[in-house]
Amino acid sequence: MNQIVIEYLDERAWRAKPPRNRTRTVAAIFSHVQNIRRKWL
């Protein structure tokens, strides 16, 4: 799944400003998920 996101998500979307009341960019969410998975291993 991560590979699909990396390949097909437009580069501008990674750092796009989140909608109001949201604080994380797509890149921040992706990074968070990766870090949590690493803790499970």
Q: What is the pTM of this model?
A: 0.65
Q: Pull the structure tokens for residue 33.
A: 């998920």
pLDDT at 1 over 80: no
12-37 confidence digits (pLDDT tens): 888 888 888 778 888 888 889 889 88
- All residues at 6 or more sequence positions from 33 whose CB lies less than 8 Å from its CB, including other chains: 2
* Per-residue confidence (pLDDT) for residue 11, from 0 to 100: 86
DSSP state of 2: H
* Residue 10's pLDDT band (cuts 50, 70, 90): confident
* Per-residue confidence (pLDDT) for residue 26, from 0 to 100: 86
3-state secondary structure 16-39: CCCCCCCCCCHHHHHHHHHHHHHH
